[in-house]
Amino acid sequence: METVKKTKTEQDKKDECFQRKVAKRMGKAISDFELIEDGDRIMVGVSGGKDSLALLELLALRRKFNKQNFEVVAVHINVLELPYEVDREFLKGFCEKLDVPLIYRDINVDFDRPSKKPACFRCSWHRRTTLFKMTDEFKCNKLALGHHMDDAIETLLMNMMYQGAVCSMPAKLSMFQGNIILIRPLILLKDAEMREYSRIRKFVLEKELCPHEDVTKRKETTKMIERIAGDDSRIRTNMFRSMSNVQSEYLPIIPEKKLN
Ligand SMILES: Nc1ncnc2c1ncn2[C@@H]1O[C@H](COP(=O)(O)OP(=O)(O)OP(=O)(O)O)[C@@H](O)[C@H]1O
């Protein structure tokens, strides 16, 4: 039978080159922060959003083509009280193509219970706690989340502005006496790069907005960074890099006993 060979357009070549760049950047994070070792069994939290889909795909491809020997398991937590669901058919097909097992878990979040914490915070806490518990159940030693560089910068500014603390999201965090290691392999990638990756890969994304979404502080912070950074691509990178360049002798550090 005659096979029809599709010729690559200039755009196709550019897109492939961009995908390789993103994979390399994640590889750099994995190597710089020593995120993955041979024999790891990594649980990937997949929300159905662009970042965690990209993370899952990039890790699965790395496992296939690189020399590192590790396993990947995808988990989606479904909050029963939320009025929408992830596109299950898409996610199923996506994981099958990558040869990654997919686990669904339904959970309840009592949004009506009075609490000082915002609904978004509580929902995220429940999802995260469920993921941690599931690592044990499915014998995974690492949990990978899809946070990227802009998430880290936003968190840094939010903690400075609302908590009076300089802290953000580490690329690697040992938790529960070292029983589980949280990793963030996309930490060297920007949101704009993840959006481009998602466009190229034609990810099917949830369009429905969560009714509880924290529309205030994080969104305001995102806009604030947009205003500060403008078109200068160095600014986001420098804000991120500043977290690895803390010159404490040049900070007005108040002695602990005088803090209150
Ligand atoms: N429902 C979920 N099930 C499994 N993992 C989740 C879920 N929600 C979030 N996560 C994990 O936590 C990370 C951070 O969550 P967050 O809510 O900030 O991301 P998101 O905006 O839902 O989407 P994205 O997948 O694009 O990061 C996600 O990247 C993903 O790894």
* Residue bearing the CA closest to ligand 1, atom 23: 49
Report the pLDDT value the prediction gives residue 2, as an integer from 0 to 100: 60
> Cβ contacts of residue 137 below 8 Å, gap of 6+?
none
Q: How confident is the prediction for the chain on average, in pLDDT? A: 92
44 CA distance to ligand 1 middle (Å): 10
Q: ipTM score of the complex?
A: 0.96
Express each pLDDT in 111-148 by its tens digit. Answer: 778 787 878 888 889 999 999 999 999 999 999 999 99
In a domain, 232, yes or no: no
pLDDT tens digit sequence for 171-214: 999 999 989 999 999 999 999 999 999 999 999 887 666 777 66
Q: How far is CA 210 from the centre of its chain?
A: 18
How big is the chain, counted in residues?
260
Which value, to the nearest 10 degrees, does the dihedral of the CA atoms of residues 65, 179, 137, 148 take?
-50
CA distances from 132 to 60, 121, 249 (A): 21, 16, 37
Structural domain of residue 35, as residue ranges?
A: 12-152+165-209
CATH number of the domain encompassing residue 99: 3.40.50.620
The tally of domains found in the chain comes to: 1
Pocket test for ligand 1, best of 47, 107, 186, 190 (most atoms within 8 A of CB): 47
Specify if 248 maps to a domain: no
Residue 119 placed within a domain: yes
Which stretch of 24-38, 72-86, 175-189, 203-217 has the lowest confidence by average pLDDT? Answer: 203-217
Index of the ligand 1 atom closest to the CA of residue 44: 31
